[in-house]
Chains A and B, each alone.
Chain A
């Protein structure tokens, strides 16, 4: 069975500082990995994905994520946080051998303080 863990309920950073939101996963095969962001009372918006190739993937709004197969991690990063980055972030995984089933982590709330 596939699963996703986001160990931090909340991450607090000051504007201009780098941010990291952590994600680890468990799948039986090789994963597709995704990050989504959710603003209040809205659906989820896609940020970036890892399919294959370069372990460092770049996405929307200056976000990037690093795939680490040995640590089964896919942490979301940004070099310089903005107040407008404050939102709920979800990591998601899809097992390549498991059809289209996509499972989400519990989410991490990011607060960026001015």
Chain B
């Protein structure tokens, strides 16, 4: 089935050690999103791509970077994770502006 896949499901990293989360999609959607969600709070938009056009939220820390090498893949890089970056990271896709988002199952990041 077409879907949004996030790997790994759980990721443990050390304070200050770079970590990369990955997302892939078989839906051929133009738009990909990264959200951060803490403890059942509102998913917070970090950035999104429309094709290769990158849109960063004004309050997304510089510590967070993203890459989208092709339509199918998108990566979230956290250059120096802090304890406050422990969260669920959700990847989502959408085809058009009025269309629903398709979410992956998320990656739960722990920072030790």
Q: B-contacting residues of A (Cβ < 8 Å)?
A: 32, 34, 36, 38, 41-46, 49, 51, 88, 90, 92, 94, 96, 99-107, 109
- Residue B74 at the A interface, CB < 8 A? no
Which chain B residues border A34 with CB–CB below 8 Å?
100-101
B76, chain A: closest CB distance, angstroms: 15
Which chain A residues border B35 with CB–CB below 8 Å?
104
B53, chain A: closest CB distance, angstroms: 9
- Known contacts: A32-B97, A43-B90, A46-B100. The answer to whether A100 contacts B31 by CB under 8 A is yes
Please report the C-alpha to C-alpha distance between residue A99 and residue B50 in the assembled complex, in whole angstroms.
9
Choice from B40, B92, B102 contacting A88 with Cβ under 8 Å: B40
- Verify B103–A94 contact, CB threshold 8 A: no
Choice from A43, A45, A88, A99 contacting B97 with Cβ under 8 Å: A99
- Residue B43 at the A interface, CB < 8 A? yes
B11, chain A: closest CB distance, angstroms: 14
Which chain A residues border B92 with CB–CB below 8 Å?
43-44
Please report the C-alpha to C-alpha distance between residue A33 and residue B42 in the assembled complex, in whole angstroms.
16
For chain B residues 75-112, which have a beta carbon within 8 Å of chain A? 90, 92, 94, 97-98, 100-106, 108
- Residue B28 at the A interface, CB < 8 A? no
Which chain A residues border B43 with CB–CB below 8 Å?
44, 90, 104
Which chain B residues border A105 with CB–CB below 8 Å?
42
Closest residue of chain A to B105 (Cβ to Cβ) is A43
- Verify B41–A43 contact, CB threshold 8 A: no
Chain B 17-41 interface 0/1 with A at a Cβ cutoff of 8 Å (1 = within): 0000000000000010101000011
B105, chain A: closest CB distance, angstroms: 5
- Known contacts: A44-B101, A46-B101. The answer to whether A100 contacts B42 by CB under 8 A is no
Closest residue of chain A to B97 (Cβ to Cβ) is A100
Closest residue of chain B to A45 (Cβ to Cβ) is B103
Please report the C-alpha to C-alpha distance between residue A106 and residue B100 in the assembled complex, in whole angstroms.
18
Choice from A44, A92, A109 contacting B90 with Cβ under 8 Å: A44
B24, chain A: closest CB distance, angstroms: 14
